[in-house]
Amino acid sequence: MALPTSLDKDAIREAYEDVRSNLSDHEWAVFKFDGLKIVCSAKGQGFAEFCGEFHDDERAFGYIRMQMGDEMSKRSKFLFLTWIGPEVGVMQRAKMSTDKSIIKDVINNFAVELQVETSADLDLDMFKAHLNKAGGANYGTGVRDL
């Protein structure tokens, strides 16, 4: 019988609220497995640094705040990521659906949820496209780098 996965709820909730806060410099948090426990393994800034936290032999979750909008308005949108590296075994892959439901008891406010399995899928433009699509109307008069 498989042992159940647990959470470091306080640390995960603190990281989640930190990323959600407009007063925080942290744009993202990553949650990894420490044995059978999901813990906050890193927080930081910058998309490249976020992507560097995911390794081929690991399972993990990510939560990232991205600035979206146009020249008329900017707003924060949140993305929840499930990472299953290409070297993760079959049993650990299968366990991710139940493990994801456990962490989503704490991380429950996001516009987009993605499952990614290769580093090529950690793509800023793809993430932004998913967030734009989820955001509905996009009434900008031009394009601007955010």
In a domain, 14, yes or no: yes
In a domain, 42, yes or no: yes
Q: What is the pLDDT of residues 15-65, one digit of tens each?
A: 999 999 999 999 999 999 999 999 999 999 999 999 999 999 999 999 999
In a domain, 144, yes or no: no
In a domain, 140, yes or no: no
Q: What is the pLDDT of residues 58-108, one digit of tens each?
A: 999 999 999 887 667 778 999 999 999 999 999 999 999 999 999 999 999
In a domain, 141, yes or no: no
Q: Which residues contact 70 (CB under 8 A, 6 or more apart)?
A: 138, 139, 140, 141, 142, 143, 144
Q: For position 27, which CATH number holds? A: 3.40.20.10
By residue range, what is the domain housing residue 107?
Answer: 6-135
What pLDDT was estimated at residue 73? Answer: 74
Rounded to whole angstroms, the Cα distance separating 15 from 40 reads 7
Q: With bands split at pLDDT 50, 70 and 90, how would you rate the model's confidence at 1?
A: low
Instruction: Please count the structural domains in the chain.
Output: 1
In a domain, 130, yes or no: yes
In a domain, 109, yes or no: yes
Pairs from 22-25 (Cβ < 8 Å, separation ≥ 24): 22/76
